[in-house]
Amino acid sequence: MKPLLDVCDLNAGYGKVPILHEISFEIGKGEVVAVIGPNGAGKTTLLKTISGLIAPYSGSVVFEGEDVAGWDPHAVAQIGLAHVPEGGRPFLNMSVEDNLLMGGYVDRSGLSRNLKEIYGLFPVLKERRGQLAKTLSGGEKQMLAIGRGLASSPHLLMLDEPSLGLAPILVDEIFQKLRRLRDLGLTVLLVEQNITYALEMADRGYVLENGRVVLQGPGSALAEDEHVMAHYLGLAKRRHPCDRPEECACR
């Protein structure tokens, strides 16, 4: 079966400053794929290039069988790819419901059903649907941003740092909602600073460093990888002082 999204040899950056180098990865329908790495690794640039906010230097971004590399963002959105940017960026002087309606502009046919489902997932948005977005808390704004992405009935939802700046209890709540979306079969590409949450949720993951993929594998395997543990989780597996602990005489 062909992947829903297939990125191949992608090179991109800002002006003459290259950020991404020969990036290749894929996402199958219904998968959750996490992209992790240090600040400045190119994670946000990757999402922006996929969604059309940045034109790549070279390479392909095949989504639903179409090479969308270099397409305008609205054209990419119209074929089913929703990008929730870092910080959410709701329209602050618009109401909660108007923000959601704006998110559904590419597919008005199912908007009423989508609003019902979004309010079911995020009851607090229903309670505050008449309020201006600028009056919401940080966690509520992030829920609104995710809801706005869902309003377009996306085939792929890309999330850039959904837990950024949130208190731990709100991070847990956001990821509870994301797990529900995963369990409903939504395909998700997740860039996330909270490595533990991201890899626990992900079917597969990719590690970016200096604009290159340096590791990939199942989320559970990456969570136990020594490089990931040491560099991103602040942990390291304790090594036995002997190369062959089973033959060790020091016990």
Is residue 5 within 8 Å of 61, Cβ to Cβ?
Answer: yes
**Residue 9 forms part of a structural domain:** yes
The pLDDT score that the predictor gives to residue 234 is 59
**Residue 168 forms part of a structural domain:** yes
**Residue 85 forms part of a structural domain:** no
Reduce the DSSP state of residue 192 to 3 states and report it. coil
The pLDDT score that the predictor gives to residue 236 is 44
pLDDT of 91 higher than 60:
yes
The pLDDT score that the predictor gives to residue 237 is 43
**Residue 108 forms part of a structural domain:** no
Is residue 145 within 8 Å of 16, Cβ to Cβ?
Answer: no
Q: Would you place residue 230 in the very low, low, confident or very high pLDDT band (cuts 50, 70, 90)?
A: confident
Mean pLDDT computed over 218-233: 84
Lay out the sheet containing 204-209: strands in order across.
Answer: 81-84, 156-160, 187-191, 32-36, 204-209, 212-218
Asked whether the CA dihedral 123, 128, 129, 133 is positive or negative, the reply is: negative
**Residue 49 forms part of a structural domain:** yes
Q: How many domains, in total, are found in the chain? A: 1
Domain of residue 63, residue span: 5-80+155-247
Q: How is residue 250 written in tokens?
A: 């020091």
Q: How many residues does the chain have?
A: 251
pLDDT of 251 higher than 60:
no
pLDDT of 239 higher than 80:
no
Q: Would you place residue 20 in the very low, low, confident or very high pLDDT band (cuts 50, 70, 90)?
A: very high
**Residue 126 forms part of a structural domain:** no
Mean pLDDT computed over 70-99: 91
Q: Mean pLDDT check: name the lowest of 39-48, 87-96, 153-162.
A: 87-96
Mean pLDDT computed over 125-150: 92
Is residue 161 within 8 Å of 178, Cβ to Cβ?
Answer: no
Where residue 203 sits, what CATH number does that domain have? 3.40.50.300
**Residue 129 forms part of a structural domain:** no
CB neighbours of 88 closer than 8 A, spacing ≥ 6? Answer: 141, 142, 144, 145, 146
**Residue 140 forms part of a structural domain:** no
Q: What is the pLDDT of residues 174-187, one digit of tens each?
A: 899 999 999 999 99
Give pTM, 2 decimals: 0.87
The pLDDT score that the predictor gives to residue 106 is 65
